[in-house]
Structure 1
Amino acid sequence: MTNTIYLITGASRGIGRGLAEIFLARPNTIVIAAVRDPADSKSSTDPTAAVETLQKKHGIDHLDVVIANAGISEDFSTVHRLSVPVLQGHVEVNGYGPIYLYQAVYPLLKKSTKPTFVGIGSPLGSIGGMEQRPYPCAAYGPSKAILHWIVRKIYFENEEFVSFVTDPGFVQTDMGNAGAQAAGLEKAFQTVEEIVGGIVKSIDEGTRESVGAQLRVWDGSQFPW
């Protein structure tokens, strides 16, 4: 039986680690857990080099599911207080990073019988639903909007791909709890264990027709772009 192969970025903690643990518990499954170097998280060449290593040293000949999970949220400014260099830093990781990743994995995804590309997004990057999340996020929000556009465009460019964005909710990761505390809350609302089950369900059961090109919330609902 052919192994199902997953590649997850940002897999050392939080959502990425939770997803990896679920997939690793399955038979006939290979999980490639990618971890970014905090000292150099903006490399445009690392994804390509990593994929070459997977092919040459580990015999990986295809990828079935790629989850672009790595991201940063380190600023809670309003637009009039936003530092452009801070915005650029968020765009490098949250916006450009998934592009570098997708371009590197594209040839291996094309060899899958159900190529699936998932971006971990956020309602804070929504334009149509901005009024539903009125929080200061002038660096993080635009950077996630880039991710949303790219993942949705992938769907329309590849008629065989299942490509969608998933919203993990207000989850109790380091990033989520920092955002909660910035808003005066003790911690975020959902546990990692709670939300990863919903994300996995969308990946397992999702088709182009049911989840493709959507901003899909972890609980199965949709959020406006």
Structure 2
Amino acid sequence: MTWFAVAGANRGIGYGLAKAIAGRPNTVVFAAARDATAQSLTDLAASHPNVYPVKFVAGDKASNQAAIAEIQKSAGQLDVVIANAGISNYFGPVGTTPVSQFKDHWEVNTLGVIVLFQAAQDLLLASPTGTPIFALISTGAASIAQFYNAAMGAYGSSKAAANFIVKALDAENPKLVSLAIHPGWVATDMGNGGAKAFGMEQAPVTVEDSVNGVLSRIDGATKEKSSGKFFNFARSSAGNMWDIDTDEIPW
């Protein structure tokens, strides 16, 4: 049995991940969300007895600790944590982006990752698998070496900082497999909002394709081949600005 926790699991990529994992044999999924009573999670738990919705607010220390305490009480084990909760609420140049937007994005996308790991670390690092996994759902827009100008200073910088945390966790924890994964530009509420800001009807990657790609990076991940790295969900050489034709993405 493998015990997963997926943060931000009530919709979008997080819901897709929770649903896909729940459909596998010998898995238990703690689906963490601000609203653990959301209809999406209620329905998922009703159809999959191995799904347990858990209340979780990104960046809030008390709710993160309470969620992990609930997992520890009911399961006593945690093998994989997927830090998926995130926001992308503003598009515009750095020179005119309100400082409040930077604060909001960093609070959720950067500090949220730190708060989640700090709450989960004791239980996660004690995983009997010997290779616990902490996976960050990042973004190609966070790559500094492969920078593209898409007017996402608040979002991109917050995710770039979160990527640094992934590298630090890999260096600091000899047994932990810590990795960042670009999920693609996905047709979720958040992804489609970004697409419309650039005059597109919707984002180009389906949730299903994104989830399959993300899980392909998590499945079988090891310290030697996976930890401290930034992976692409899937290679694409279509030539669009958002396409990345390598398995790994430069930091």
Give the superposed CA RMSD.
1.5
Q: Compute the displacement of 1:54 (Å).
A: 2.2
Q: State the SS of the aligned residue for 1:22.
A: helix
Letter of the 1:44 partner, please give it. Answer: K
Map of 2:238 onto structure 1: none
Q: How far, CA to CA, are the matches of 1:189 and 1:43 in structure 2?
A: 32
Map of 2:233 onto structure 1: 218
Unaligned runs of 5+ in 2: 36-56, 236-246
CA offsets, 1:27-69, max 9 Å, x none?
22110000025xx65422210111112223x2x2121100000
Answer yes or no: is 1:199 the counterpart of 2:214. Answer: yes
Q: How far, CA to CA, are the matches of 1:119 and 1:42 in structure 2?
A: 14
Q: How far, CA to CA, are the matches of 1:124 and 1:190 in structure 2?
A: 15
Answer yes or no: is 1:188 the counterpart of 2:214. Answer: no
What is the 5 A alignment of 1:76-225? 76-112=91-127, 113=129, 114-130=131-147, 133-219=148-234, 221-225=247-251
Residue 36 of structure 1 is aligned with which of 19, 34, 37? 34
Q: Taking structure 1 as reference, are residues 41 and 209 closer, same or farther at Cα in structure 2, changes over 3 Å only?
A: closer
Q: Taking structure 1 as reference, are residues 4 and 41 closer, same or farther at Cα in structure 2, changes over 3 Å only?
A: closer
Higher relative contact order (CA 8 A, sep 6+): 1
Map of 1:69 onto structure 2: 84
Residue 49 of structure 1 is aligned with which of 66, 82, 87? 66
Q: Compute the displacement of 1:159 (Å).
A: 1.2
Q: How far, CA to CA, are the matches of 1:69 and 1:222 in structure 2?
A: 19
Task: Please report the TM-score for the alignment, with normalisation by the length of structure 2.
Answer: 0.83
Letter of the 1:102 partner, please give it. Answer: F
Letter of the 1:53 partner, please give it. Answer: E
List structure 1 segments (4+ residues) > 3 angstroms apart after TM superposition.
Answer: none
Q: State the SS of the aligned residue for 2:95.
A: helix
8 Å Cα contact 1:9/1:36 also seen in 2: no
8 Å Cα contact 2:58/2:85 also seen in 1: no
8 Å Cα contact 1:167/1:218 also seen in 2: yes
Q: How far, CA to CA, are the matches of 1:41 and 1:4 in structure 2?
A: 24
Q: How many residues align?
A: 218
Q: State the SS of the aligned residue for 2:5.
A: strand
CA offsets, 1:141-192, max 9 Å, x none?
1111111011111111111111100000111111111111101111111100
Map of 1:4 onto structure 2: 2
Q: State the SS of the aligned residue for 1:7.
A: strand
Task: Please report the TM-score for the alignment, with normalisation by the length of structure 1.
Answer: 0.93
Q: Compute the displacement of 1:210 (Å).
A: 1.9
Q: State the SS of the aligned residue for 1:30.
A: strand
Q: How far, CA to CA, are the matches of 1:22 and 1:53 in structure 2?
A: 23
Map of 2:47 onto structure 1: none
